[in-house]
Amino acid sequence: MVLRQIGYKIVIAVVLAFSGFYLLQRGDPLELWSEQWCLAFGDAEKVVQEIELKYGVEIKYDVTEKTIPELWRNPPSNGTAEPLARIHLCRHIQNLSLELKKYPADILKRNLSTIYLFSSLSFYGVQYGGTSLVSSIYLTGGSKGEGYSDTYIATLLHHEMSSIFYRAYQFPKEAWSSINPANFHYAESDGQVLEAMAKGDAPSNNEILYHGGFLSKYGHSTLENDFNSYAEMAFTHPQQLRSLSEKYPSVRQKAELTKNFYIGISKNFSIDY
């Protein structure tokens, strides 16, 4: 039985190798071979089952546009979505498994029910890397050549997980806002928020941002998005956040509020910066 399974997987690997030949001409050969091998031998389904058993979190990937809530598909958001190509599934599943280990299991069971994986999400005519609603997270994925590195996927997860916590627990909004420059105001209208988010990746003077307590222009959009940027850095680049905290007082204050917020949710969080 074991020998048959191994032989079957080898056949799959060979088929994938030849079927992916055209793709190899267009993308990074090493990455595509790696993802094909992972798809054949990585046993993504087993990892999905382990995640559900340990955390009570479902990972859904064979999804269509109808998977996103009808509220989002209707005007004015006019949400659209495309399913994730299976060639990228194994790497993303394994990456999510590693990142979920950074959370206490009981906290995930209480706050996160489902993670949906797509190749694209669009709302208000703007491409989204991810979003969340109640206890569900919607993430996009793809090849490393398209920008979907393991670090980027991890950043998306922690970003959206922090939004779930922001809504579910008492966040210190007044203390956070008091750190901002005296004349600063977050975006107020939906249009202003979208505009601020669209400018999030634009070149900027980081020194000015850091002195003001912001890690990126994206943090100018809303208080929640500002917090998201701290949470994602705390989980994916803690040394960088530590370095910025040592140099910029406003960053240090927000970093401390971020750390205390998570510790307030559970003392079992291990956030070191």
Give the pLDDT confidence of 188-211 residue by residue, as tens digits.
876 767 676 665 555 457 999 999
Q: What is residue 34's predicted lDDT score, i.e. its pLDDT?
A: 57
The pLDDT of residue 192: 67
pTM: 0.84
CB–CB of 103/164 below 8 Å? no
Beta strand 58-60 pairing with 136-140: unpaired
Terminal Cα-to-Cα distance of the chain (whole angstroms): 49
Quick one: which of 72, 83, 88 has its CA closest to 23? 88
Residue-wise pLDDT for 222-238, tens only, equals 999 999 999 999 999 99
Q: 16 falls in which pLDDT band (50, 70, 90)?
A: very low
C-alpha distances out from residue 113 to 26, 53, 137, 253, 267, Å: 37, 12, 8, 32, 22
CA dist., res. 222 & res. 220, Å (int): 6
Tens digit of pLDDT for each residue in 129-153?
999 999 999 999 999 999 999 999 9
Q: What is the percent of the chain with per-residue pLDDT over 70, rounded to a whole number?
A: 80
Angle, alpha carbons 252-173-210 (nearest 5°): 30
**What are 125's two structure tokens?**
């005519």
Looking at residue 24, what is its pLDDT? 34
Q: How far apart are CA 244 and CA 210, in angstroms?
A: 8
Backbone angles phi, psi at 241, to 5 degrees: -65, -40
Residue 234 to residue 3: CA distance in whole angstroms: 45
Tell how far CA 143 is from the center of its chain.
Answer: 15
Taking Cα atoms as reference points, which of 20, 12, 139, 137 lies closest to residue 83?
A: 139
Is the Cβ–Cβ distance between 255 and 241 less than 8 Å? Answer: yes
